[in-house]
Chains A and B, each alone.
Chain A
Amino acid sequence: MDFRTVTTEERQKLINALRGNAENNLAILMDRRDTSFVGSSEEVSDDEVISAIQSVPCHY
């Protein structure tokens, strides 16, 4: 098992990803080879997109 200190930038990204997960349901992505943290997802849910489309106002 290999332990490595994360860099300041990596730590900040991880904290932001955890916050994004808690606040906006953004997925936290991990490397499938070694399960390390690789970032957060910008995926948007179907419901969010459908709701935005259905609520587009009339334009004049």
Chain B
Amino acid sequence: MNIRLPKLYDWLNRLDAWWRRDTIVAAKVPAPAPVPVAPSAPCRLERVVLSAGVASTLFDDYAAHCVSPRGSEEIGWILMGVRQDGEAIALAALPAGAGRDASQVHVRFNADAQAVASRILRQKDKRLQILGVVHTHPGDMCQPSSGDFTGDSAWVAKLRHGDAVFGIGTAGWNGQVPSCGALRFFWYALGAGDTVYRPLPARVEAGPDLAAPLRPIWPILEANAVELESLCRLFARVQFDRAEEGLVIRIALARPQNGLRVLLKGGEARYYWERGGELIAVDPREPQLERAVFLILAELAKEQASEFREVHALVES
């Protein structure tokens, strides 16, 4: 729909004037002071609030990372949550994933898995949005680097609020080995057009990490992220559920109470056709997830077409 904003503003102002006139006549009281009608400006970030679950995830993950075989590399997380006035309230921390590209001087997250995880989290709350990025630095460098600024300043300009939270994690170093005794996180905000990061007050409040239940199935998300994202874009009603340390994908079909269920578990995919209350196992003999779904749908379409022909033949006779 194409809306011409100047015309809309004009219409709103005329509506406002008409309403104000009626108010004065009916109530016979002085008109209220004119209210500025400028669009509400987005609130500037004043602080970040971490749920206790998110704070715990950051420290636990960082500590585990330090003693892992990739402990010398940088690591990071995406923070998801809600924006409320000047606060960014972090309710979920999405890990960089095993498929991250990282070294001692850089980290690029496995964004495909994080994207699917965000879809799963947002099934229950569409207010959840990306709040910012946390990553670690070697040694005690507690500020974002110039390389961070180059990427972040371009990125925040594309965000809804035009700013984001950036966290830097540091660990004390014992010679060449990171020491887990002094893990710290430092918090900053950067807005579009800012020339420097602003230090951001942070506090922790009671609450869960909404992404914690996804941790056991993160390898499944990483292994199938591209296909899952593709299915979400192709089908209007895709629902994700956790089941038996696996992931269930439900794709609603056109007929009522008809759907396709895919169970991803332990490197395997199992397919089921849900027809009414009946659940029918299907083996498409195809290892690739997206292709398997389409093969099953093609078979179902054939079956539905034959049913239609039978009904049609009955009507004709």
Chain A residues within an 8 Å CB radius of B130: 49, 52-53, 56
Check if B115 sits within 8 Å of A44, measured CB to CB: no
When the two chains form the complex, which single residue of B35, B101, B145 contacts A8, counting CB atoms closer than 8 Å?
Answer: B35
Question: A51 to B118, alpha carbons, bound, how many Å?
Answer: 11
- Chain B residues within CB distance 8 Å of chain A: 3, 5, 8, 12, 16, 19, 22-23, 26-27, 32, 35, 37, 39-40, 74, 76, 78, 82-83, 101, 105-109, 111-112, 114-115, 118-119, 122, 126-130, 133, 135, 144-145, 147-148, 150-152, 154-155, 158-160, 229, 232
Q: Number of residues in A with C-beta < 8 Å to the partner?
A: 30
With contact pairs A16-B39, A58-B106 given, residues A52 and B133 touching in the complex (Cβ less than 8 Å): no
Supply 25 A–B pairs (Cβ within 8 Å), ascending by A.
Answer: A5-B23, A11-B16, A11-B19, A15-B12, A15-B16, A15-B37, A18-B8, A20-B40, A22-B3, A22-B5, A22-B8, A42-B82, A44-B127, A48-B129, A48-B160, A50-B229, A52-B129, A52-B130, A53-B78, A53-B115, A56-B109, A57-B151, A57-B154, A58-B108, A59-B151
Among candidates B8, B27, B148, B232, residue contacting A60 with C-beta atoms closer than 8 Å: B148
Supply 9 further A-B pairs (C-beta < 8 A) apart from A46-B122, A52-B130, A54-B112: A6-B19, A12-B35, A15-B16, A24-B160, A52-B159, A53-B114, A56-B78, A56-B111, A57-B150
Find the residue from A43, A49, A54, A59 having the highest chain B CB count within 10 A: A59
| Inter-subunit contact B147/A55 (CB<8 Å) | no
Query: Smallest CB–CB gap between A52 and chain B, Å?
Result: 5
A2 on the interface (CB 8 Å rule)? no
Contact B119 A56 (CB under 8 A): no
Q: Are A16 and B158 in contact (CB under 8 A)?
A: no
A59–B160 CB distance below 8 A: no
A50 touches B148 (CB 8 A): no
Which of the residues B119, B127, B151, B229 comes within 8 Å of A42, measured between beta carbons? B127
Query: A59–B190 Cα gap in the complex (Å)?
Result: 14
B16, B111, B127, B154: the one within 8 Å of A43 (CB): B127
Task: Flag A2-44 by CB within 8 Å of B: 1 or 0 each.
Answer: 0001101001100110111011100000000000000000111
| Contact A59/B106 with A15-B37, A44-B128 known, Cβ cut-off 8 Å | yes
* A5 & B148 in contact (Cβ 8 Å cutoff): no
